[in-house]
Chain A
Amino acid sequence: MTIVEKILAAHAGKKKVVPGDLINVRVDLVLSNDITAPIAIREFRRTGVKKVFDPAKVVMVPDHFVPNKDIMAAEQAKLMREFALEQRILYFEVGQMGIEHVLLPEQGLVLPGEVVIGADSHTCTYGALSAFSTGMGSTDIAAAMATGDIWMKVPPTIRFVYKGNLRDWVGGKDLILATIGRIGVDGALYSAMEFTGEAIDALPMDGRFTMANMAIEAGAKAGIFHFDKKTLAYVQTRSKRPYQVYESDPNAEYAQTIEFDASGIEPQVAFPHLPSNVRPISKVGNVRIDQSVIGSCTNGRMDDLLVAAEILRGRKVDPHVRCIVIPGTQQVYLEALSRGLIETFVQAGVAVSTPTCGPCLGGYMGVLAAGERSISTTNRNFVGRMGSPKSEVYLAGPAVAAASAILGRIAGPQEL
């Protein structure tokens, strides 16, 4: 069996599962946010259950339109806060909160071998920790809050092997964009993506979170990494409970194996309006930008900010560009502050924000007008994703986003 099959079998109380099996899976954590929780709470009430199955395994994070962007967002946040208090579940108030998928691993709330479901499509991020995690809708989350389990179809696993070493300024974002560019936005539909190879072994945890995060952009149910020394180093200071490590068997069956020569991958840019519409930086041409966003559940971690700061240090953002940097959590913010990154950003002319998903989905804190273009380290560039349906979003990693902010057009740091 693969890692995914082993985790799912263990959580379904079975010795063996195969792709296609419909199973009932015990969940270790159930997540929702200020956009999806209000509907989940309404549906939870309809189940007739008074208390969630285990308050220590239900978490709500206000992050999408919080700090409240308007009165309606405030009402949603309030509804969620009151439910969290009533049920005594895990909850992170403004001032402690961060972007959910940066926050939960950082707080040790997700561990290897666990099953996590969340009413947010980027819940697949935790595959970086060798956990099985997947996004669902509010009603699924409501049912799981009531019962502690959920139905699932065991997905086939596609193995992705990245050989060779990464070039300078190439990170997890470039690997995953190159992957989606090759297989398409439904190239891994209903499947799990297992990421392996020497380039993956060398990839820091933050880059792995970025890759797992965007598995959904290839239609996948989950993205998953093997547990190694880096995973151990990440979880050992954070875990507050025991966890179980699962490994794919040498004879595990894969639906497909797809290989990449990582040494041939340049920094990547996804053009509008699909994450699969990818070009290497050398073939981007002259694309002027109005905004550069560095942050999100995809690229709002410390390594991302370090890359951006290295490029922005001692330089200035183009006067015609709004550059917005959003640390993913308060802890990332604090570390960026104590290591001097925030000063670097502000001196470069960057607007630094408290953690929020805001601009990624056109919520607030960087919404685009008609005809405007943004380079962004976020995960989607669909029509209207960041504001006006007549605006454009180009996806890239933090190196390209920072260099582009300085040059006023999409460019890699080697041009500086």
Chain B
Amino acid sequence: MTIKGKVHKYGADVNTDVIIPARYLSLSEPADLARHCMEDIDAEFVKKVKPGDIIVATSNFGCGSSREHAPMAIKGAGVSCIIAKSFARIFYRNSMNIGLPILESEEAVERTQDGDTLEVDLATGKIKNLTRDLTFQAKPYPKFMLELISAGGLIEHTRQRLASKGA
């Protein structure tokens, strides 16, 4: 699957409180959460984000709370993929579980600027910066992650597991 989108670039330690502040945690639908996505770090984000856009950030993206509302808000806002140097571990799990692709690549992050257009091949982890004519290779997913992705998320994966157990 190939994704193409414009980059919204952020720095280090983008935490779940700024991705979706706790004042909106009484919401649980992606579309409702999306209206407040990134509100406390970039109030303009929801106005400028377009379906398919890509978030690029430096290290420790998604640190803080376990709130799944954070990747749900980002996915709900239409973001197709997040590329960072590193992710906080709960955010990483949450994103994979709900089917929001996330990729790790130091080089891609360093050589990509806000507003660039990227093309990402999720199957191979190849990232092309179309604005600068550069190509990068993201860290490959472990085998289990590929299973999770191909199942369509953790719940579908669990359903399949339970079905094969029962069979």
Contact = CB atoms under 8 A, between A and B. Distances in A.
Q: Is the pairing of A and B real?
A: yes
Interface of A: 22, 35-36, 38-39, 42-43, 46-49, 64-65, 70, 72-73, 75-76, 118-121, 123, 135-140, 142-143, 146-147, 151, 185-186, 189-190, 216, 219, 221, 274, 361-363, 380, 382-385, 389
A185 B60 contact: yes
Contact of B17 (A65, A120, A385): A385
A139 B63 contact: no
Contacts of B64: 121, 380, 382
B123 to A, nearest CB: 20
Interface string B78-94: 00000000101110011
From B25, B27, B41, residue with most partner A Cβ within 10 Å: B25
A75 B27 CA distance: 10
Contacts of B105: none
Interface string B24-55: 01111000000000011100000000000000
A134 B44 CA distance: 34
B94 A384 contact: no
Interface string B85-127: 0101110011001100000000000000000000000000000
23 contacts: A36-B68, A46-B155, A49-B162, A70-B26, A75-B26, A76-B26, A119-B66, A121-B90, A139-B68, A139-B94, A139-B97, A139-B153, A143-B157, A185-B63, A186-B13, A186-B59, A189-B89, A190-B89, A362-B23, A380-B65, A383-B17, A383-B41, A389-B40
Interface of B: 13, 15, 17-18, 21-23, 25-28, 39-41, 59-60, 63-69, 72, 86, 88-90, 93-94, 97-98, 142, 144, 153-155, 157-159, 161-162
B95 to A, nearest CB: 9
A342 B140 CA distance: 56
Contact of B25 (A35, A47, A185): A35
From A39, A42, A382, residue with most partner B Cβ within 10 Å: A382
B17 A382 contact: yes
A54 B72 CA distance: 28
A137 B94 contact: yes
A64 B28 CA distance: 15
Nearest to A360: B22
Contact of A47 (B59, B60, B63, B155): B155
A380 B68 CA distance: 18
Given A46-B155, A137-B90, 17 more contacts: A39-B69, A47-B159, A64-B25, A75-B26, A76-B28, A121-B65, A136-B93, A138-B68, A139-B153, A143-B155, A143-B158, A185-B60, A189-B60, A190-B89, A219-B63, A363-B25, A385-B17
B68 A219 contact: no
B26 A140 contact: no
Given A35-B67, A139-B97, A382-B18, A219 B89 contact: yes
A147 B158 contact: yes
Given A47-B155, A142-B155, A384-B21, A189 B65 contact: no
From A49, A121, A147, A190, residue with most partner B Cβ within 10 Å: A121
Contacts of A43: 155
Contacts of A135: 66, 90
A382 B161 CA distance: 39
A75 B28 CA distance: 12
Contact of B18 (A22, A46, A383): A383
Contacts of A151: 144
Contacts of B63: 185-186, 219
A73 to B, nearest CB: 5
A39 B97 CA distance: 13
Given A121-B64, A137-B68, A143-B158, A219 B88 contact: yes
A361 B13 contact: no
Which 6 residue pairs are nearest across A and B when measured between Cβ atoms? A72-B26, A137-B94, A137-B68, A186-B60, A139-B97, A361-B22
B66 A47 contact: no
Contacts of A382: 15, 17-18, 64
Nearest to B163: A48
Nearest to B60: A186
Nearest to B156: A46
B112 to A, nearest CB: 21
B62 to A, nearest CB: 10
A73 B23 CA distance: 11
Nearest to B145: A22
Nearest to B161: A147
B28 A42 contact: yes
A137 B23 contact: no
Given A42-B28, A147-B158, A361-B22, A22 B89 contact: no
B45 to A, nearest CB: 13
From A46, A49, A73, A137, residue with most partner B Cβ within 10 Å: A137
A65 B26 CA distance: 9
Given A119-B66, A139-B68, A362 B21 contact: yes
A73 B97 CA distance: 25
Contacts of B159: 46-48
B18 A384 contact: yes
A38 B33 CA distance: 14
Contacts of A39: 28, 68-69, 72
